[in-house]
């Protein structure tokens, strides 16, 4: 859902300064990826869909890495550094200081809650404005609330405060309504109350959640919107939750393409990055990864057991059991089974890269085929070419890479080596086993294997008494009897 209307009265603050200790990772938590994009990238995309007047991302742990990732996605973002005072409340406080004149509503999002969609957040902002609350938080009811802050309500049902897991009494810990870590605040209230929040709690942190209790105690209206689909609020704190969030996101992506007209046989083993696109009537078979900026055109079939990264697949192409990166596969082309397409491979319409074939930085022209057991690197192949089984381009002389140029309508014999740099002219042919070190003129036949010589009786003379000698003797006597019979009839 995209809403490009500007909402100048809305500022979004994304919390991304924490270390993510429970990930046990050198990489900051918010840079771990699901669906091909860092966690914070998903949050950022959703935030921008709301058209806010300001987007602030607060950083601290590995600040340069996080800041670069964020500004790489959206350069209008204001990156703010959190100081040594820890906690989500402090993170918001320093963010607000960066937009001192802003007096509208503040939507706070967590960089580690990646699945929330713009529809849900837009509705939260709408609820907040309609009710006139000072604070509106998003809550969810979870079967297992462990680790989350709990929403504590008064007997009349109104929100009293949020208590963190580590600070909760047994009775509070038994509450199943959790704080999703997503809130809309009136900015004036937020500025005032944050100044009053202390760090007297189990974690010694300035909790953003304390603003809720303080606002409520000050007589301000606080409400919670309970999200209908609790899975949207999943927070990623450890690797198990990372995998779970990735699975949920992928299920959403797969369903989106199914509803757009793609047949996806096995959603559980099909992984599609949020940046990939599938046209209608594409078929995706099990165990397939469609990653990064890959595009698949109408009618193509991908899989089973295929991985495509940054590839362009043309209409009605077939790609089976293949691994391809930065490759272009033309319309009606076929790839695999068991093919490895490395960056710079361009297979034109109707072409074929077949079984146990590796290609790199090579163009294979229209209708041309490299069907079996080959390595094609730094090569240009024209149209209507057929390379025999076992074609190898020797593109590397230990110092530099060289090109092989193969013209149109060339047919090579089996098991050829093309020692680059070398050119094969249009319509030329090469014999089986040839090692092509010199250019071949158009229309020529190139042979490089010495003529065959048969030494009769070699086995009888040099390997007498062996099974080979016996087999040869049997064959000769059968042939003599056959010849005799033929003579009788003839
Ligand atoms: C927080 C909430 C909890 C809620 C949960 C939902 C508080 C005190 N607790 O807990 O009520 O149920 O989210 O997922 O807010 N961060 C900073 N600066 C900091 C600390 C954290 O920017 O000093 C960022 C983190 O990078 C992260 C987010 O804030 O993106 C949440 O921090 P985290 O430590 O994961 O909070 P939770 O314990 O999950
Ligand atoms: Ca968290």
Atom of ligand 1 nearest to the CA of 89: 15
Q: pLDDT tens, 319-367?
A: 999 999 999 999 999 999 999 999 999 999 999 999 999 999 999 999 9
Examine the domain organization and report whether 199 and 322 are in the same domain.
no
User: Is 483 among the domain residues?
Assistant: no
In this structure, what token pair is assigned to residue 182? Answer: 């997503």
Instruction: Answer yes or no: is the C-beta of 162 below 6 A from any ligand 1 atom.
Output: yes
Chain centroid to CA 444: how far? 47
Examine the domain organization and report whether 142 and 281 are in the same domain.
no
User: Is 79 among the domain residues?
Assistant: yes
Q: What's the CA gap between 255 and 372, in Å, rounded?
A: 36
Atom 35 of ligand 1: nearest residue by CA position: 237
Examine the domain organization and report whether 116 and 54 are in the same domain.
yes
User: Is 185 among the domain residues?
Assistant: yes
Atom of ligand 1 nearest to the CA of 182: 6
User: Is 218 among the domain residues?
Assistant: yes
Give me ligand 1 centre to Cα 181, in Å.
Answer: 7
- Strand, coil or helix: what is 212? helix
pLDDT of residue 447: 98
Q: What's the CA gap between 419 and 445, in Å, rounded?
A: 17
Q: What's the CA gap between 370 and 234, in Å, rounded?
A: 48
pLDDT bracket for residue 155 (50, 70, 90): very high
Q: pLDDT tens, 181-196?
A: 999 999 999 999 999 9
Active centre residues (catalytic): 372
> Per-residue DSSP letters for 96-125?
HHTSTT--SEEEEEETT-----HHHHHHHH
Ligand nearest to the CA of 164: 1
Domain that holds residue 58: 7-233
Using the 8-state DSSP alphabet, how is residue 22 labeled?
A: G
Is 487 a residue whose pLDDT tops 80?
no
User: Is 489 among the domain residues?
Assistant: no
Q: pLDDT tens, 127-141?
A: 999 999 999 999 999
Examine the domain organization and report whether 49 and 187 are in the same domain.
yes
Instruction: Answer yes or no: is the C-beta of 379 below 6 A from any ligand 1 atom.
Output: no
pLDDT of residue 290: 98
Examine the domain organization and report whether 221 and 280 are in the same domain.
no
Contact 352, 385 (CB under 8 A): no
State the DSSP H helix or E strand holding residue 150, giving kind and residue range, or none if neither: strand 150-153
Q: Which residues pair with 259 in a beta bridge?
A: none
pLDDT of residue 5: 84
Examine the domain organization and report whether 181 and 77 are in the same domain.
yes
Atom of ligand 1 nearest to the CA of 18: 26
pLDDT of residue 150: 98
pLDDT of residue 483: 78
pLDDT of residue 490: 45
Contact 17, 58 (CB under 8 A): yes
Examine the domain organization and report whether 297 and 426 are in the same domain.
yes
Ligand nearest to the CA of 181: 1
Q: What's the CA gap between 46 and 49, in Å, rounded?
A: 5
Q: pLDDT tens, 240-284?
A: 999 999 999 999 999 999 999 999 999 999 999 999 999 999 999
In this structure, what token pair is assigned to residue 348? Answer: 């034109």
Q: pLDDT tens, 415-438?
A: 999 999 999 999 999 999 999 999
* Count of CB atoms situated within 10 Å of the CB of 27: 13
Q: Across the chain, what does the average pLDDT equal?
A: 96
Q: How many domains are there within the chain?
A: 2
Q: pLDDT tens, 201-244?
A: 999 999 999 999 999 999 999 999 999 999 999 999 999 999 99
User: Is 54 among the domain residues?
Assistant: yes
Is 1 a residue whose pLDDT tops 60?
no
pLDDT of residue 4: 63
Contacts of residue 421, Cβ cutoff 8 Å, sequence gap at least 6:
402, 403, 404
Supply the pTM of this predicted model.
0.91
- Work out the percent of the chain whose per-residue pLDDT is above 70: 98
Atom of ligand 1 nearest to the CA of 112: 30
User: Is 242 among the domain residues?
Assistant: no
Is 26 a residue whose pLDDT tops 90?
yes
pLDDT of residue 488: 56
Domain boundary among 200, 233, 266: 233
**With the C-alpha atoms ordered 58, 63, 64, 68, is the resulting torsion angle positive or negative?**
negative
Best of 113, 181, 194, 206 for a ligand 1 pocket test (most atoms within 8 Å of beta carbon)? 181
User: Is 327 among the domain residues?
Assistant: yes
CATH number at residue 276: 2.160.10.10
pLDDT of residue 127: 97
Give me ligand 2 centre to Cα 234, in Å.
Answer: 9
Examine the domain organization and report whether 142 and 217 are in the same domain.
yes
**With the C-alpha atoms ordered 452, 454, 459, 462, is the resulting torsion angle positive or negative?**
negative
Examine the domain organization and report whether 287 and 431 are in the same domain.
yes
Ligand nearest to the CA of 166: 1
CATH number at residue 44: 3.90.550.10
Atom 1 of ligand 1: nearest residue by CA position: 181
Q: pLDDT tens, 78-126?
A: 999 999 999 999 999 999 999 999 999 999 999 999 999 999 999 999 9
Examine the domain organization and report whether 417 and 280 are in the same domain.
yes
Examine the domain organization and report whether 197 and 331 are in the same domain.
no
Residue whose C-alpha is closest to residue 109's, from 30, 168, 4, 214:
30
Examine the domain organization and report whether 217 and 360 are in the same domain.
no
Instruction: Answer yes or no: is the C-beta of 183 below 6 A from any ligand 1 atom.
Output: no
pLDDT of residue 234: 95
Give the residue-averaged pLDDT of 9-37: 96
Instruction: Answer yes or no: is the C-beta of 236 below 6 A from any ligand 1 atom.
Output: no
> Per-residue DSSP letters for 423-469?
EE-TT-EE-TT-EE-S-B-TT-EE--SPPP---TTHHHHHSTTSHHH
Q: What's the CA gap between 402 and 389, in Å, rounded?
A: 22
């Amino acid at each position: 859902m995209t809403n490009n209307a500007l909402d100048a009265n809305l500022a979004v603050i994304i919390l991304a300064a924490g270390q993510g200790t429970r990930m046990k990772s050198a990489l900051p938590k918010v840079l771990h990826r699901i669906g091909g994009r860092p966690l914070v990238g998903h949050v950022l995309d959703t935030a921008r869909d709301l058209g806010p007047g300001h987007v602030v991302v607060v950083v601290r742990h590995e600040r340069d890495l996080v800041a670069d990732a964020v500004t790489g996605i959206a350069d209008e973002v204001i990156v703010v550094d959190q100081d040594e005072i820890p906690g989500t409340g402090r993170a918001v406080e320093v963010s607000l200081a960066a937009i001192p004149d802003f007096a509208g509503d503040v939507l706070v999002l967590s960089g580690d809650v990646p699945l929330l969609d713009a529809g849900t957040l837009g509705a939260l902002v709408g609820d907040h404005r309609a009710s006139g609350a000072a604070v509106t938080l998003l809550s969810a009811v979870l079967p297992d609330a462990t680790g989350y802050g709990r929403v504590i309500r008064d007997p009349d049902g109104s929100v009293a405060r949020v208590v963190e897991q580590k600070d909760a009494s047994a009775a509070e810990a038994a509450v199943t309504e959790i704080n999703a870590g997503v809130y809309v605040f009136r900015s004036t209230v937020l500025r005032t109350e944050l100044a009053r929040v202390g760090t007297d709690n189990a974690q010694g942190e300035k909790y953003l959640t304390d603003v809720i209790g303080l606002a409520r105690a000050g007589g301000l209206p606080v409400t919670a919107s309970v999200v209908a689909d609790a899975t949207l609020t999943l927070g990623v704190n450890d690797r198990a939750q990372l995998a779970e969030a990735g699975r949920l996101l992928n299920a959403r992506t797969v369903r989106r393409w199914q509803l757009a007209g793609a047949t996806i046989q096995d959603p559980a083993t099909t992984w599609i990055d949020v940046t990939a696109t599938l046209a209608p009537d594409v078929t995706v078979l099990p165990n397939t990864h469609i990653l990064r900026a890959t595009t698949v055109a109408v009618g193509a079939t991908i899989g089973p057991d295929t991985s495509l990264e940054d590839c362009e697949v043309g209409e009605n192409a077939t790609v089976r059991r293949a691994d391809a990166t930065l490759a272009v596969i033309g319309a009606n082309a076929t790839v695999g089974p068991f093919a490895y397409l490395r960056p710079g491979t361009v297979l034109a319409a109707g072409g074929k890269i077949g079984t146990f074939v590796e290609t790199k930085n090579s163009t294979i022209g229209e209708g041309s085929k490299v069907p079996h057991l080959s390595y094609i690197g730094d090569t240009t192949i024209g149209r209507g070419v057929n390379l025999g089984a076992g074609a190898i381009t020797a593109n590397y002389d230990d110092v530099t890479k060289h090109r092989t140029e193969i013209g149109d309508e060339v047919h090579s014999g089996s098991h050829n080596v093309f020692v680059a740099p070398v050119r094969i002219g249009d319509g030329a042919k090469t014999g089986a086993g040839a090692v092509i070190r010199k250019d071949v003129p158009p229309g020529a036949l190139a042979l490089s294997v010495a003529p065959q010589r048969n030494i009769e009786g070699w086995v009888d003379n040099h390997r007498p008494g062996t099974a080979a000698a016996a087999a040869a003797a049997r064959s000769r006597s059968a042939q003599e009897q056959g010849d005799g019979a033929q003579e009788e009839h003839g």
